[in-house]
């Protein structure tokens, strides 16, 4: 690798690490998300121009912040706002290594709250979060979600406009107000993780880079809001699920179902981190919320040395609690799988058949997939084949569709 290529790679790595802190600090100063991102991007361009010749500075993040703040001063001069803002910005902007670490926690939390604001649609929140906090380019976000790049660009532009029109405040809420805002953030982070863990469409069953981005965001949030049980619960859930990643596909990318996975390939470090986060969640709140309950279910799998050692009755009990909390038909379907393992397929089939007319599951491929599995266990092979074929017709992911067709043939 050439020196310039190596430096560019280093700049990109620094950007992924520093972009959230950089943009968050600029938002605090200029009170405009769009302008803050533009200034951060200008600082990145400056780094790409200067660092190959000058070498990486000792503190790349501080260099980027100083450069961006100087650009901010230029913007303010052009807007004839220098007198009002000069005292606020100039002392820090004139030094090569400004002191902005004191506010970095609030800056990043502020940016998370803005990017995940409920005034935005789920799609807009996801795109803006990956852009501002994940450091991803528009093209990278588009490729991750298999959406045209102009569509993602429009979502980001509209999201920024919506935030400005809604006059979203730039202050970090406290106490109950902050707690009320956290579910919106957790929803976005877990949506990103889920799309990486089981891609809804395309040719790959997993997109591990999205899982990694979501995990990083979750860990950052847990550091900023350490006393919230559901934040810890979400981190625990993602750590535990991510621990199975290496065992979930064959070398050529075909899916491997949970009970068929080689558990020796599960990542023990991620399991330990997940169990520790779950312990923190359990120490912070009882009863557990939905993310912590899902983490507790994942922990049952993580603790079992083999599929046969799994405590399915405990998993059913946890799903009972999760159904009460969420009232979700998808959760009820997952509960049916656990019931099948704990008490037999006949009892589980009754639950699945009661979900047949549920509008939310009308086009959900896992409903006929689960039903096909239960029918096969009951020896009703012809009916099972029809269910697997129907599931395959509804599945948008190519890898999952092929797996379902294989099961139909089997």
Domain boundaries, the chain: 3-102, 116-169, 180-284, 339-410
- Predicted local distance difference test score (pLDDT) of residue 84: 55
- Other CB atoms within 10 A of residue 375 CB: 22
Contact 228, 179 (CB under 8 A): yes
Question: Tokens 């046969």 sit at which residue?
Answer: 308
Q: What is the CA radius of gyration of the chain?
A: 24
Per-residue model confidence (pLDDT) at position 16: 79
Pick the CATH number of 3-102 from 1.10.1740, 1.10.3470, 1.20.120, 3.30.1050: 1.10.1740
Looking at residue 95, its pLDDT comes to: 40
Q: State the architecture of 116-169 in CATH terms.
A: Orthogonal Bundle (1.10)
116-169 with 339-410: one CATH topology? no
CATH (residue range 339-410): 1.25.40
pTM exceeding the 0.85 threshold for the entire prediction: no
pLDDT tens per residue, range 212-239: 989 988 998 998 889 999 999 999 999 9
The pLDDT of residue 90: 53
Question: Which pLDDT tens digits describe the chain residue by residue (410 residues)?
Answer: 565 677 778 888 888 788 888 898 888 888 888 888 899 999 989 888 888 888 888 888 889 989 988 888 777 676 654 555 555 555 544 443 333 344 446 788 888 888 889 899 989 999 998 888 878 888 888 877 778 999 999 999 999 999 989 888 887 877 788 888 899 899 989 988 988 898 887 888 888 888 998 998 899 899 888 999 999 999 999 999 999 999 999 999 999 999 999 999 999 999 999 999 999 999 998 899 999 999 999 999 999 999 899 999 999 999 999 999 999 999 999 999 999 999 999 999 999 999 999 998 999 999 999 999 999 999 999 999 999 999 999 998 999 999 999 999 97
Residue 248, pLDDT score? 95
Alpha helices in 79-207 (DSSP H): 82-93, 104-115, 122-132, 138-145, 149-165, 175-197
Helices (H), 204-267: 208-224, 229-242
Q: Provide the pLDDT for residue 101.
A: 40
CA distances from 303 to 69, 211, 263, 296 (A): 50, 22, 10, 10
Helix 149-165 crosses helix 33-54 at what angle (to 10 degrees)? Answer: 130
Distance CA 103, CA 160 (A): 23
CB within 8 A of 184, min separation 6: which ones? 116, 117, 118, 125
């Amino acid at each position: 690798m050439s020196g310039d290529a190596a430096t560019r790679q280093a700049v990109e790595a620094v950007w992924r690490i520093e972009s959230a802190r950089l943009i968050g600090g600029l938002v605090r100063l200029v009170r405009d998300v769009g302008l803050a991102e533009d200034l951060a991007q200008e600082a990145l361009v400056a780094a790409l121009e200067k660092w190959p010749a000058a070498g990486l500075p000792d503190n790349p993040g501080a260099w980027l912040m100083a450069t961006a703040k100087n650009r901010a001063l230029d913007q303010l001069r052009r807007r004839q706002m220098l007198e009002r803002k000069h005292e606020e910005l100039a002392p820090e902007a004139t030094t090569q290594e400004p002191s902005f670490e004191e506010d970095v926690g609030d800056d990043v939390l502020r940016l998370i709250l803005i990017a995940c604001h409920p005034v935005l649609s789920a799609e807009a929140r996801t795109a803006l979060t990956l852009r501002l906090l994940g450091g991803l380019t528009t093209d990278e976000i588009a490729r991750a979600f298999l959406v045209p790049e102009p569509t993602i660009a429009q979502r980001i532009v509209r999201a920024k406009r919506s935030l400005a029109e809604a006059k979203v405040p730039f202050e970090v809420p406290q106490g109950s107000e902050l707690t009320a805002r956290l579910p919106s953030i957790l929803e976005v982070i877990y949506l990103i993780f889920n799309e990486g863990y089981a891609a809804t469409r395309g040719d790959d069953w997993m997109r591990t880079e999205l899982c990694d981005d979501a995990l990083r965001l979750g860990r950052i949030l847990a550091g900023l809001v350490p006393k919230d049980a559901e934040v810890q619960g979400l981190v625990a859930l993602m750590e535990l699920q991510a621990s199975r990643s290496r065992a979930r596909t064959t070398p050529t990318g075909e899916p491997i179902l949970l009970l068929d996975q080689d558990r020796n390939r599960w990542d023990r470090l991620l399991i330990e981190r997940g169990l520790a986060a779950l312990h923190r969640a359990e120490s912070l709140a009882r009863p557990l919320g939905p993310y912590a309950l899902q983490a507790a279910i994942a922990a049952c799998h993580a603790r079992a040395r083999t599929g046969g050692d799994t405590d399915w009755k405990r998993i059913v009990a946890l799903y009972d609690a999760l159904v009460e909390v969420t009232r979700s038909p998808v959760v009820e379907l997952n509960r049916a799988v656990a019931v099948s393992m704990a008490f037999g397929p006949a009892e589980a089939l009754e639950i699945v058949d009661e979900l047949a007319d549920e509008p939310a599951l009308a086009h959900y491929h896992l409903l006929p997939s689960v039903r096909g599995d239960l029918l096969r266990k009951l020896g009703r092979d012809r009916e099972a084949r029809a269910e697997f074929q129907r599931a395959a017709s509804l599945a948008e992911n190519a890898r999952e569709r092929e797996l379902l067709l294989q099961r139909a043939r089997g």
